[in-house]
Amino acid sequence: MSYIQFLGAAGVVTGSKHLINTGDESGKQGLQVLVDCGLFQGQKEWRERNWQDLPIPAREIDAVILTHAHLDHCGWIPRLVKQGFHGPIYATPATIDLCGILLPDSGHLQEEDAAYYNKTRASKHTPALPLYTMEEAQQCLTLFHPVNFGELKQVTGELSFRFVRAAHILGSAMAEITLTTNGRPQKLLFTGDIGRVRDNQIAPGKVVHSGPTEGEDCDLLVMESTYGNREHPHSDPRPQMAALIRTTVQRGGTVVVPSFAVERSQKFLFMLKELMETRQVPNVPVHADSPMAIKAVEIFLKHAEEFSPDAKALIAKYGSPLEWPNFHFDQTQDESKKINDSPYPSIIVSSSGMVTGGRILHHLMLRLPDPRNLVLFIGFQAPGTRGFSIKNGAKEVKMFGQEIPIRAQIAALEQFSDHADTPELLEWLHTFRRPPRQTYLVHGEPQAASMLRNAMTQALGWNVQIAAYRQKVQVE
Ligand SMILES: [Zn+2]
């Protein structure tokens, strides 16, 4: 009897890992496929799960099917490979391009963290080791195999799949898996993260346009629930964004934007460019501060086929951000440090988006104590991350062992979200051709998951359950 085991993103929004097993408990027989292989981020008790072994040996996993390039879905791949996995990793071409810069960067951050702990002796493990290195992350890229949207991929005799659009970020997909046991095919749908609905008016900050694929039908659904208890604002974020930036610059402050390095940052830059060209925002220097700043722009422009008409129009109008005067792409550490030499207002876009590491830490350390500055969030902040604390009114935040006082203005533009909210999720589910026999909610805080379960039961009458960590469920 086949089963699915939830090895992450159960009760939390990070660490997505779902094992499909058609064999016995020992894992030796049958097929074993991992859907997503993400890092746990946020609270320490979750991050420690990154160091636990899987319930089955990594070398016995046959393949990984990857929905998208966010680290909470792909960031554990180098660790899996380090532990002996050597099978294929299937992903869309855009996801592979993104992983090509994000995974080595993640390895680099792991090494930096370990070096920092060793320097300050803050770790009980001596010496502290990185989960994986930049080089190890680089090496695992050779295992990636591109699979285009809609293409049927036969993994083995008993398992095939195709990617359909999730409209969450560039390259993001849902995995429609057909599992055939004893001659009986069953369809499993893993949503990964689900993007905004098609109506472009209510999500002006999003880039990918087509909305999640409609008219799905499956026997078993594994679905995200990040925004299971919330509704996004429906207003255009641009007037608010312009007003926030204007006021900050007028009082001599700098705007710091923690943002996912690829796509989100570039869309923000395009909107900023337009606000500057239409004189709604003053022409101050803009810094995209990331070691992958230039590559990120190149990948963004290379995969423009997935974008909304809005985003395409902006690209056609303004061309490559790399050519814009007053926009700086700071790749090296020296360039990054130079930003801080200027006493004048500027706008700094830097990652990581949830302030879990990276250059954003240095910018915030310097700018948070000054009330003239603005920290502007344009992305989801997982509980337990520094970004979550700052966004939710903490008075201070710990960085590099120091408590940094928060006196800067803090604001958030929720319209930029690339997760469907509850009404949007229900709208998408209403397009299903039949109810799944089993539905499991993952990738949500307990409250969000349980509110979404209630909403789904009420609106659709489906049998919905909330996945628990390491729980095994039989494919009935
Ligand atoms: Zn995601």
Q: Could you tell me the distance, in angstroms and rounded to a whole number, from the CA of residue 76 to the centre of ligand 1? A: 14
Q: Could you tell me the distance, in angstroms and rounded to a whole number, from the CA of residue 193 to the centre of ligand 1? A: 5
Q: Read off the pLDDT of residues 77-95 as tens digits, 9 standing for 90 and up.
A: 999 999 999 999 999 999 9
Q: Could you tell me the distance, in angstroms and rounded to a whole number, from the CA of residue 195 to the centre of ligand 1? A: 9
Q: How confident is the model at residue 99 (pLDDT cuts 50, 70, 90)?
A: very high
Q: How confident is the model at residue 125 (pLDDT cuts 50, 70, 90)?
A: low
**pLDDT averaged over the chain?**
91
Q: Could you tell me the distance, in angstroms and rounded to a whole number, from the CA of residue 168 to the centre of ligand 1? A: 7
The Cα 31–Cα 157 span in angstroms is 10
> Which pLDDT score, from 0 to 100, does residue 113 have?
84
Residues 262-277 have a mean pLDDT of: 90
- C-alpha Rg value of the chain to the nearest Å: 22
Residues 447-464 have a mean pLDDT of: 95
Q: Could you tell me the distance, in angstroms and rounded to a whole number, from the CA of residue 228 to the centre of ligand 1? A: 15
Q: Could you tell me the distance, in angstroms and rounded to a whole number, from the CA of residue 277 to the centre of ligand 1? A: 31
> Which pLDDT score, from 0 to 100, does residue 394 have?
97
Q: Could you tell me the distance, in angstroms and rounded to a whole number, from the CA of residue 124 to the centre of ligand 1? A: 32
> Which pLDDT score, from 0 to 100, does residue 349 have?
96
> Which pLDDT score, from 0 to 100, does residue 311 have?
82
Q: Could you tell me the distance, in angstroms and rounded to a whole number, from the CA of residue 350 to the centre of ligand 1? A: 18
Q: Could you tell me the distance, in angstroms and rounded to a whole number, from the CA of residue 444 to the centre of ligand 1? A: 12
Residues 273-297 have a mean pLDDT of: 93
Q: Read off the pLDDT of residues 58-78 as tens digits, 9 standing for 90 and up.
A: 999 999 999 999 999 999 999
Edge-to-edge order in the sheet of strand 159-165: 153-156, 159-165, 173-181, 184-190, 220-224, 438-442, 464-466
Distances (CA, A) of 469 to 8, 12, 46, 77, 101: 6, 9, 11, 19, 30
Q: Could you tell me the distance, in angstroms and rounded to a whole number, from the CA of residue 6 to the centre of ligand 1? A: 17
> Which pLDDT score, from 0 to 100, does residue 81 have?
98
Q: Could you tell me the distance, in angstroms and rounded to a whole number, from the CA of residue 180 to the centre of ligand 1? A: 29
> Which pLDDT score, from 0 to 100, does residue 199 have?
60
Total-model pTM: 0.92
Residues 387-413 have a mean pLDDT of: 96
Q: Could you tell me the distance, in angstroms and rounded to a whole number, from the CA of residue 218 to the centre of ligand 1? A: 22
Residues 245-273 have a mean pLDDT of: 92
Q: Could you tell me the distance, in angstroms and rounded to a whole number, from the CA of residue 354 to the centre of ligand 1? A: 12
> Which pLDDT score, from 0 to 100, does residue 201 have?
62
The sign of the CA dihedral 314, 316, 317, 320 is positive
> Which pLDDT score, from 0 to 100, does residue 94 have?
95
DSSP annotation of 6: E
Q: Could you tell me the distance, in angstroms and rounded to a whole number, from the CA of residue 99 to the centre of ligand 1? A: 13
Q: Could you tell me the distance, in angstroms and rounded to a whole number, from the CA of residue 226 to the centre of ligand 1? A: 10
Q: How confident is the model at residue 219 (pLDDT cuts 50, 70, 90)?
A: very high
Q: Could you tell me the distance, in angstroms and rounded to a whole number, from the CA of residue 455 to the centre of ligand 1? A: 22
Q: Could you tell me the distance, in angstroms and rounded to a whole number, from the CA of residue 419 to the centre of ligand 1? A: 8
> Which pLDDT score, from 0 to 100, does residue 128 have?
85
Percent of the chain residues past pLDDT 90, beyond the cut: 71
> Which pLDDT score, from 0 to 100, does residue 74 have?
97
Main-chain dihedrals φ then ψ at residue 363, nearest 5 degrees: -65, -40
With vertex at residue 373, the alpha carbon angle to CA 120 and CA 272, rounded to the nearest 5 degrees, is: 110
What are 10's two structure tokens? 């159960």
Q: Read off the pLDDT of residues 155-204 as tens digits, 9 standing for 90 and up.
A: 998 999 999 999 999 999 999 999 998 889 999 999 999 998 766 566 66
Residues 32-36 have a mean pLDDT of: 96
Q: Could you tell me the distance, in angstroms and rounded to a whole number, from the CA of residue 205 to the centre of ligand 1? A: 16
Q: Could you tell me the distance, in angstroms and rounded to a whole number, from the CA of residue 284 to the centre of ligand 1? A: 31
Q: Could you tell me the distance, in angstroms and rounded to a whole number, from the CA of residue 380 to the centre of ligand 1? A: 9
Q: Could you tell me the distance, in angstroms and rounded to a whole number, from the CA of residue 71 to the centre of ligand 1? A: 8
Exposure on the CB side of residue 304, measured as CA atoms within 13 A: 16
Residues 52-59 have a mean pLDDT of: 92
Q: Could you tell me the distance, in angstroms and rounded to a whole number, from the CA of residue 92 to the centre of ligand 1? A: 14
> Which pLDDT score, from 0 to 100, does residue 209 have?
72
- The answer to whether residue 336 scores a pLDDT higher than 70 is yes
Q: Could you tell me the distance, in angstroms and rounded to a whole number, from the CA of residue 74 to the centre of ligand 1? A: 10
> Which pLDDT score, from 0 to 100, does residue 5 have?
95
Q: How confident is the model at residue 348 (pLDDT cuts 50, 70, 90)?
A: very high
| Bond preceding residue 185 cis, omega within 30 of 0 | no
Closest CA to 285 of 363, 242, 347, 332: 347
Q: Could you tell me the distance, in angstroms and rounded to a whole number, from the CA of residue 415 to the centre of ligand 1? A: 16
Q: Tell me which residue has tokens 């792409």.
A: 329
- The answer to whether residue 288 scores a pLDDT higher than 80 is yes
Q: Tell me which residue has tokens 């995969």.
A: 303
Strands (E), 304-449: 327-330, 347-350, 374-377, 396-399, 402-405, 409-412, 438-442
Q: Could you tell me the distance, in angstroms and rounded to a whole number, from the CA of residue 291 to the centre of ligand 1? A: 21
- The answer to whether residue 448 scores a pLDDT higher than 90 is yes
Percent of the chain residues past pLDDT 70, beyond the cut: 96
- The answer to whether residue 26 scores a pLDDT higher than 80 is no
SS3 content of the chain, % helix, strand, coil (to 5): 35, 20, 45
Residues 345-353 have a mean pLDDT of: 94
Q: Could you tell me the distance, in angstroms and rounded to a whole number, from the CA of residue 408 to the centre of ligand 1? A: 28
Q: Could you tell me the distance, in angstroms and rounded to a whole number, from the CA of residue 248 to the centre of ligand 1? A: 30
Q: Could you tell me the distance, in angstroms and rounded to a whole number, from the CA of residue 369 to the centre of ligand 1? A: 31
> Which pLDDT score, from 0 to 100, does residue 204 have?
62
Q: Could you tell me the distance, in angstroms and rounded to a whole number, from the CA of residue 144 to the centre of ligand 1? A: 19
Type of residue at 436: P
Q: Could you tell me the distance, in angstroms and rounded to a whole number, from the CA of residue 382 to the centre of ligand 1? A: 11
> Which pLDDT score, from 0 to 100, does residue 309 have?
83
Main-chain dihedrals φ then ψ at residue 20, nearest 5 degrees: -100, 125
What's the chain's length in residues? 476
- The answer to whether residue 24 scores a pLDDT higher than 70 is no
